Structure 1
Amino acid sequence: MVYIENIYSQEVIDSRGNPTIKVTAVLSDGTMESAIVPSGASTGKREALELRDGDRSRYLGKGVLKACENVDTTISEALIGSTPFDQGHIDAMLKSIDGTNNYSNLGANATLGVSMAIARAAANSLDIPLYRYIGGSNALVMPVPMLNIINGGSHADNTVDFQEYMIVPFGFDTFKDSLRASAEVYQHLKGILKDSKHITSIGDEGGFAPNLKNNAEPIEIILKAIEKAGYKPGEEISIALDVASSELVEKDGKYHLAGEGKKVTSYELVEYYEKLVAKYPIVSIEDGLSEDDWEGWQHLTERLGDKIQLVGDDLFVTNKDILRHGIDKNIANAILIKPNQIGTLSETMQTVRLAQRNNYRCIMSHRSGESEDAFIADFAIGINTGEIKTGSTARSERIAKYNRLLQIESEVPHTEYIGKELFKNR
C-alpha cells in the first residue's frame, strides 16, 4: 500500500519577485512531486488567508517561513502515513487541523501547496496525467483562453482604470488555433502601440501597459490589432474586461474612474457598461461592481445578464457558500476559480460543481504573482471549467500554462474546444 512518507516545503520566488511557498510530497514508492502556490495583487477581502511573516527585515515583511514551518511540522506530522489517493480525506484533514473557516492558523498558501503536491504525486504514482487523475474519462474539454493583453489598474502603473483588457478567441476549432491567433493579435498590438509612440513595457500578467486617454481606447486599439492580424472582431475574437471595481470604489460608495476624471454611482457605472457592450464586441465583464455592492450587482445582472458573461471574482472568492448566496439573489452568471482563494483542491471542486449545477460558467484563473507551475492547466481540464485566464502570450510563467494545454491537446485525440458553443450567441 502506497502512503505519504514525507511532506516538506521551501520559500521560493514568484513572478513579482515576492516569496511564495513550494511544497514537496514524497510517497513510499519513491514518487516525489512539488507544487508552487501563486499570490494575488488585487484580492477579495473574503479570500482565505495567505500567511505572511510580517518581519520587515526579510522581503519587506512578505516572507512565508511561518507557512513553511506549518507544512514541515503540524501538517506533515498529521498526514504522514495517509493514503495519497483520497484527495477529499487529505483536504478535510487540512481543514480540521487548521480549525478556522479561512485557514488563518496554517495559511491557505500552506494548505493549498500540500493539497496540490499530494494530488500531483498521486497521479504520478499511478502513472496517469494529472488532468486524468482529477477528472477521469470526462476530462476532455479544452478551455477557451481569456488573454490579458492590455493591463491597467493594480496590475500596471498607468492611467487606465480597468485592470484587464482581454481577448477571447472563441471562433476556432482547436485550442492550438485559438492560441496562435491570440499570439498574432498580441504581436500586432505591440506594433500598433509602438507606431503610435506608446510605451510597450508590460504589466504583471504580460499585457502592455500604455497610458491611454480613457477606458474605451484600449478596446479600440485591440480591435484594430484583431483586424490587422486578419481576424473578425465579434465573430472569431471578442473582448473581455476585468474591471476589478473593488479597487475603484471609495468610502462614499461611488466608483472613481480616475483616468476619466469621473465619480459615478453603481447605476451610472452599469449604464456605462451598457453603452460599451452596445458599441463593442464585449462578451464578458469580471468584477463589474465591488464585492460589497450586492444591490448594484443585482441591477447589473438584470441589465446585462442575458447578454454577456458576468463574472464574480472578488465577489465570490471561489467560496461555495458565498456563491450559493449569489445564486439565490440571481447575481452574476459566472465565477472565477482561484484555488488559493479557498485553500484546497476539494473545496475548489465543490464550488465548481455548485456553479455548474446552477448553470454558472466557470473560469479557471492564475494570479498576478505566478510561477512556472502549470497545475491550473490540468485542473481546468480535469474539472471542465471550459474557460481559463492565465495572462497574455508573454512572460514564461504565463506561457507555461499555455504550453501545458498544447501538450495535453496533442496527447488526447478526442478533446473538445467549445468556444463557439460558449459565445456564439454573445
Structure 2
Amino acid sequence: MTAIVKVIGREVMDSRGNPTVEADVVLASGVIGRACAPSGASTGSREALELRDHDDSRYLGKGVLNAVANVNGAIAERVVGMDAAKQREIDDAMIALDGTDNKAKLGANAMLAVSLAAARAHADDQQMPLYQHIANLHGNTEPLTLPVPMMNILNGGEHADNNVDIQEFMIQPVSATSFSEALRMGAEIFHHLKKVLIAEGMNTAVGDEGGFAPNLPSNEAALAVIAKAVANAGYQLGDDITLALDCAASEFFRDGQYDLAGEGRAFHSEGFADYLGGLCDAYPIASIEDGMDESDWDGWAYLTKTLGSRCQLVGDDLFVTTTNILNRGIEEGVGNSILIKFNQIGTLSETLDAIGMAQKA
C-alpha cells in the first residue's frame, strides 16, 4: 500500500517571501506526504542548481514554475508506481532522469521536494515520526536525542543591512539539561540583548534570520554585547553558554583578501585565521562555520592547523553536503565538521551519504 499513485507539485512562498517548490506524494493507502524545498541567503557556488524561472515579470525572476512543471511532468511520470519505502530507488531514479552533475535539468528544488515528500509519506503511512524513519534509512540504531541548539541572535553579512561583516553570532546553552531549558535560556538572553542594545543607543531591528542587526564598530563588539546580555541574564559565559560564528567568509573574500569593510581592514588567509584565533582567545567560541572562502583550501588548512583542536571548524559553502568534496577535505585535513543541508545536494539519500562519510572520518 506504499506504492506512489500520484505526485503533485505547486509553487508556494518560503519564509523569506520567495517562491519555492512544494510537492505532494500520494500513496495507494491514501496517505499524502508533503514537503517544500528550502533555500539559503548565502550559498556555495558548488551547490546543486536551484531552478528558477528568471522571468522578471514574476517574483523578480525567482519564480519556480519550470521546476513545478518538472515535478508534475517528468518526475511524476518516473516515480508513480514506485514504492515510497524504497527511498534510495526513488532518489536514484530522479538522479538518472536528470542526468547532470548538479541537477541542472530538473532542478534540485524540484527533486528535493519530491524526495522529502516520499519520505514523509512513508513515515506517515507507517505511523512513524519522520525523524525515526530517516534514522532507520541511515541505519542508526543509537538512542535519538535532541541536539544543543545554536541560536542566531545577532546578524550581519548577507543576513542584515548593517556594517557587521560576520554573518551570524550564535549562542549555545551547553549547561541546559533539556531542550526546553536550552530554549528558555536562549530566549532570555535574546531579550536581554535587546535591552543592552537599547541602553547603548543601538538599533534593535532584526535581520534576515531574526537576530538583531545593529551597526557596530567591529565583529568583536558584537561578541561584547552578547557577552553582556549573557551576564545580565544570569548565566556564565563559557560554563552555561558558549558562542559560535558563521563567518560566511566567501561573501567578503575579494581579490585574494578577506575584506572586513565594517572594520576598514583586510587580511590574507593566515592573517584572517589569526584574527579568528584572537576572537577565540577573548571569548569561548566553540564553533566557526565557513571561516575561509569556499575555494581557499590553503587557508582552510592553516585555519584547521591553528584552531582545529580548539573548536568546530564547519564547512558549509566549503563542502556543500557533497561526498566527493567532503572526501577531499577529509584527506587533506581541511575542517573538522560539516553543515548538512539537503538543498545543497538535492535528495535525501545523497544527504545521508554525506552524513555517513562525515561520521566515519
After TM superposition, the score normalised by the length of structure 2 is 0.97
Provide the residue aligned with 1:186 in structure 2.
190
Q: How big is each residue's C-alpha offset from its partner over 1:240-272, in whole Å with a ceiling of 9 and x where there is no partner?
A: 00010000111x201100000001100110111
How many Å apart are 1:179 and its aligned residue?
1.1
Is residue 115 of structure 2 the alignment partner of residue 115 of structure 1?
yes
The SS at the match of 1:103 is coil
Q: Given that residues 31 and 125 in structure 1 are in contact (C-alpha distance below 8 angstroms), is that contact kept between their aligned partners in structure 2?
A: yes
5 Å-filtered alignment, 1:2-41, equals: 2-41=2-41
| Whole-Å separation in 2 of the counterparts to 1:154 and 1:85 | 39
Provide the residue aligned with 2:346 in structure 1.
343
Q: Given that residues 75 and 94 in structure 1 are in contact (C-alpha distance below 8 angstroms), is that contact kept between their aligned partners in structure 2?
A: yes
Is residue 306 of structure 2 the alignment partner of residue 303 of structure 1?
yes
Provide the residue aligned with 1:82 in structure 2.
82
| Whole-Å separation in 1 of the counterparts to 2:158 and 2:87 | 35
Q: Given that residues 310 and 333 in structure 1 are in contact (C-alpha distance below 8 angstroms), is that contact kept between their aligned partners in structure 2?
A: yes
How many Å apart are 1:2 and its aligned residue?
2.7
Aligned counterpart for 2:337 among listed residues 328, 334, 338: 334
How many Å apart are 1:33 and its aligned residue?
2.0
| Whole-Å separation in 1 of the counterparts to 2:238 and 2:133 | 36
The SS at the match of 2:279 is helix
| Whole-Å separation in 2 of the counterparts to 1:27 and 1:56 | 37
| Whole-Å separation in 2 of the counterparts to 1:275 and 1:132 | 41
5 Å-filtered alignment, 1:15-414, equals: 15-136=15-136, 137-138=141-142, 140-250=144-254, 252-358=255-361
Q: Given that residues 33 and 118 in structure 2 are in contact (C-alpha distance below 8 angstroms), is that contact kept between their aligned partners in structure 1?
A: yes
Q: Given that residues 132 and 139 in structure 1 are in contact (C-alpha distance below 8 angstroms), is that contact kept between their aligned partners in structure 2?
A: no
How many Å apart are 1:80 and its aligned residue?
0.5
Counterpart amino acid of residue 271 in structure 1: D
How many Å apart are 1:77 and its aligned residue?
0.5
Q: How big is each residue's C-alpha offset from its partner over 1:52-102, in whole Å with a ceiling of 9 and x where there is no partner?
A: 001111111110000000000000000101110011111111111100111
State the identity as a percent: 52
The SS at the match of 2:22 is strand
Q: Given that residues 188 and 229 in structure 1 are in contact (C-alpha distance below 8 angstroms), is that contact kept between their aligned partners in structure 2?
A: yes
Q: Given that residues 304 and 334 in structure 2 are in contact (C-alpha distance below 8 angstroms), is that contact kept between their aligned partners in structure 1?
A: yes
Q: How big is each residue's C-alpha offset from its partner over 1:390-413, in whole Å with a ceiling of 9 and x where there is no partner?
A: xxxxxxxxxxxxxxxxxxxxxxxx
| Whole-Å separation in 1 of the counterparts to 2:143 and 2:95 | 27
Q: How big is each residue's C-alpha offset from its partner over 1:339-369, in whole Å with a ceiling of 9 and x where there is no partner?
A: 00000000000000100111xxxxxxxxxxx
| Whole-Å separation in 1 of the counterparts to 2:262 and 2:31 | 52
How many Å apart are 1:117 and its aligned residue?
0.5
Q: How big is each residue's C-alpha offset from its partner over 1:275-308, in whole Å with a ceiling of 9 and x where there is no partner?
A: 1111111111111110010001100000000111
The SS at the match of 1:203 is coil
| Whole-Å separation in 1 of the counterparts to 2:300 and 2:206 | 31
Counterpart amino acid of residue 94 in structure 1: M
How many Å apart are 1:168 and its aligned residue?
1.0
| Whole-Å separation in 2 of the counterparts to 1:77 and 1:87 | 17
RMSD: 0.9
Change in CA separation of 1:12 and 1:139 when aligned onto 2, cut-off 3 Å: farther
How many Å apart are 1:169 and its aligned residue?
1.1
Counterpart amino acid of residue 74 in structure 1: A
Provide the residue aligned with 1:381 in structure 2.
none
Provide the residue aligned with 1:374 in structure 2.
none
Q: Given that residues 2 and 122 in structure 2 are in contact (C-alpha distance below 8 angstroms), is that contact kept between their aligned partners in structure 1?
A: no
Counterpart amino acid of residue 353 in structure 2: Q
| Whole-Å separation in 1 of the counterparts to 2:41 and 2:182 | 28
Q: Given that residues 131 and 139 in structure 1 are in contact (C-alpha distance below 8 angstroms), is that contact kept between their aligned partners in structure 2?
A: no
Q: Which moved more, 1:9-18 or 1:241-250?
A: 9-18
Higher RCO (C-alpha 8 Å, min separation 6): 1
How many residues in Structure 1 have an aligned counterpart in Structure 2?
357
| Whole-Å separation in 2 of the counterparts to 1:145 and 1:37 | 22
Query: Which consecutive segments of 4 or more residues in structure 1 shift more than 4 A?
Result: none
Counterpart amino acid of residue 310 in structure 1: L
| Whole-Å separation in 1 of the counterparts to 2:129 and 2:286 | 32
How many Å apart are 1:139 and its aligned residue?
5.2
| Whole-Å separation in 2 of the counterparts to 1:201 and 1:102 | 37
| Whole-Å separation in 1 of the counterparts to 2:2 and 2:356 | 29
Unpaired runs of 5+ residues, structure 1, are: 359-426
| Whole-Å separation in 2 of the counterparts to 1:59 and 1:172 | 43
After TM superposition, the score normalised by the length of structure 1 is 0.83
Q: How big is each residue's C-alpha offset from its partner over 1:104-131, in whole Å with a ceiling of 9 and x where there is no partner?
A: 0000000000001110010000111111
| Whole-Å separation in 1 of the counterparts to 2:113 and 2:212 | 30
Counterpart amino acid of residue 222 in structure 2: P
| Whole-Å separation in 2 of the counterparts to 1:349 and 1:169 | 27
